[in-house]
Amino acid sequence: MKIAIDLNGVIRDTLGKAEQVYKKFFIDDYVSEEGEEEFEYSLNLPITSTTLSNHFSFPNQESFYDFFYVDFPMEIFGHAPSLSANTFNILDDVYKKLREEHEVYIISEEMEKSKPATLFFLAKYGCAIENIKFYSKITQESLWDMFDMILTANPELIKNAKNNTQIIKFNKLYNSDISHEVSIDTLEEFLPTIQKQLEDANV
C-alpha cells in the first residue's frame, strides 16, 4: 500500500507558530509605516476552521497571503515546532515498521516559499522518510489516485476522499464538526490503528 501522513496539524504545529509570529509582528511590536491606512490587527482565537482569513485579520487578501507565503514563510513553516517532543521518534518508528511492505510518504499542503521552508523543517528534525509530496487545493485530487491510505487533519481531505482511499482522521478543533469512522488524537495511535485497518482488509 501507499500510505501518506499529512504534515500540518499531525506532525507540525503550523497554526500555533503562525499565531506567535502574527502576535509578535502585528500586535506586540507593530509600528505602522508613514502614510499607511489605520487598521486594527487582531487574532480571532481559537482557530476553529481552516478559513484562516477569519482568524488572522489583514486589510486585504494580498496582505494575508504575503504574511504566510512571502514575508514570514520560514518563520511559520520552517521554524514551527513539531506537535510534541517525541513526534519524530514516533514517526521514524512508524516508517521503520511499515517500509518493508508499504510505501510511506509525507504529504503537505504548501504554496510558494512555504515549500523550501517545509523542507528545512523536515531536515531540521531529521525526518527519515524520503518520499515527500506537496499538494494544493488545485492538485489535491491527485492524492486519491496516488494513495491507499492517508492520515490527515485537513477537513477538505477528510470530507472529499475518493477512489476507496482510506482516511484516518487526526482530531483537531478545526475538524471537530466532521464525523469520521476512524480517528485518532495522537501520533502514537497511528501504528496500532493502521495495523488493525490492514488486518481487517485481509479478513
Q: Is 201 helix (H, G, I), strand (E, B) or coil?
A: helix
Share in percent of the chain as helix, strand, coil (round to 5)? 45, 15, 40
Position 32 scores a pLDDT of 62
- 10-residue block means of pLDDT along the chain (203 residues)? 95 95 86 68 90 92 93 96 93 92 95 95 94 93 93 94 90 92 92 78 54
Position 201 scores a pLDDT of 59
Name 194's bridge partners. none
79 phi and psi angles, rounded to 5 deg: -105, 10
- Residue of 98, 76, 86, 112 lying closest to 11 (CA atoms): 86
Q: Which domains does the chain have, with CATH numbers?
A: 2-13+81-202 (3.40.50.1000), 14-78 (no CATH)
Question: Grid coordinates 480571532 are at which residue?
Answer: 44
Position 34 scores a pLDDT of 59
**Interval 7-39: pLDDT, tens:** 999 999 999 999 999 999 888 876 666 556 678
